[in-house]
Chains A and B, each alone.
Chain A
Amino acid sequence: MKTTSGPWMATRASERALGRIGLYAALALAMFFAFFPIYWMLVTSLRPNSEVFAFPPSLLPQTLTLEHYANFIKNPQLLVYLGNSVLVATTTALVSLIISVYAAYSFSKFRYTGRRALMFLVLSAQMFPQALLLISLYLMFSELKMLDTYAVLVLSFTTFTLPLCIWMLKGYFDHIPTDLIEAAKIDGAGQMQIIHRILVPIVRPALVATGIFAFMRGWNDFIYALTLVGKSKQTLPPGLVLTYIGEFQSQWADMMAASLLVSLPLVIAFILFQRQIVSGLTAGAVKG
C-alpha cells in the first residue's frame, strides 16, 4: 500500500499545487486588468504636468503633488457639475425605483391580456442605440420647451433605466411566494399595503441593487447631459470634458484627479451596500 500511495499522493499534491498556482496566476492577471487603470489614474493625478507625458513613462511618480486635486476643489464650476450630478442621478434612481416597483409587481403577480407583449415592449427600449434615440428625444423635448431643465435629464435617463430596473425587480418578485400575498389579502390588506408593508421590505436588497444601477446610469451619462441641457445644468461627465479636453488642451492630470474624486460617491455606496447589491443582483438570477 505504501509503495503505491506514496507516488499517487505526491502526484495529487503537485497537481493541487499547480492548480493553485494557475488559479493565483489567473487571479493576478484579472486583478492587473481591473486595477492597473485605477493605479495609473492615481499616479497620473499625483504627478506634476511636466512628468505626465515623460517618455519613456515611469510606473512611479518622481515627484508627488496634490495640485490637481486642489485645482478641482478651487474650481467652482466643477462643484456646480458635481451638485447637478448628485441631483439628477439621485432623482433618476428614485423615479426609476418607484415606477419599476409597481410595474415589476404587476408583471410578476398578475395575469392579464397583453402582459407579455407589454413586458417585451418595455425591454425593447434597451435595444435601440441611445445615440439614435437622442435625436428624436431632442426634437420632442424641444417642441415641449423642456430643454435645459433638470426634468429633461431625469426623464431621459429614466427611459433607459426602467427596462432593466423592471426586469431585475420582476425576477425578485417572482421568488416571493404568492401564498404570502394571499395571506395578506386574507388579513384584509389592500394592494398598496401589500406592496408597501410586505413586499418592499422583503425586496430591499434588490431595491438597493436596482437603485445603484439607475444612479450609475444618471451619474455616468455623457451625451444626453451634453445635448439636452446648458452649462448651468450639466453633469460631471460633460463638465469634465468641457473643462479639461479641448482643441488645444488636454489636462490629463487634472482630469484624472477629478475622475477619482467624482467616483468616490459610487465607491462609497458600493462599500456600504455591497451585501445588498450582491444578494439583489443574484436573487433574480436563479429560479427557485
Chain B
Amino acid sequence: MSSQTITLGTQTITPKVQDLGNSYYIEFQVNITKYLNNPVNHTIDVNFICNKYKQVPSTNPLSPPTTVQKTIQECVDEWYNQHKSVYEVA
C-alpha cells in the first residue's frame, strides 16, 4: 500500500494505492458540491480499479503505439472525467 499527494478540483488528496499487478486499486475521500445536479455538501468515499498501463501513439506514424505506465494523478483524473455527470467536486 502506497500513498502520494495529488490534486482533484481545488482539493489536495492522498489516495491509498494498492498494486494489483496490471492495475491499481485506489481509495480516497473527496468533498462534493453537486450530485446529479442537486447541490450538496458532503464527503464521499471513492474506491476503484484503474488499469496501470495506457497506449500512446508513436511520433513515427509507421511505428506501433507504445505502452506506458499511468500515474495515480492520471487515474484519478480519469475517474473524475467518467463521473463528471454524477459529481462536482469542491
**Are these two chains actual partners, yes or no?**
no
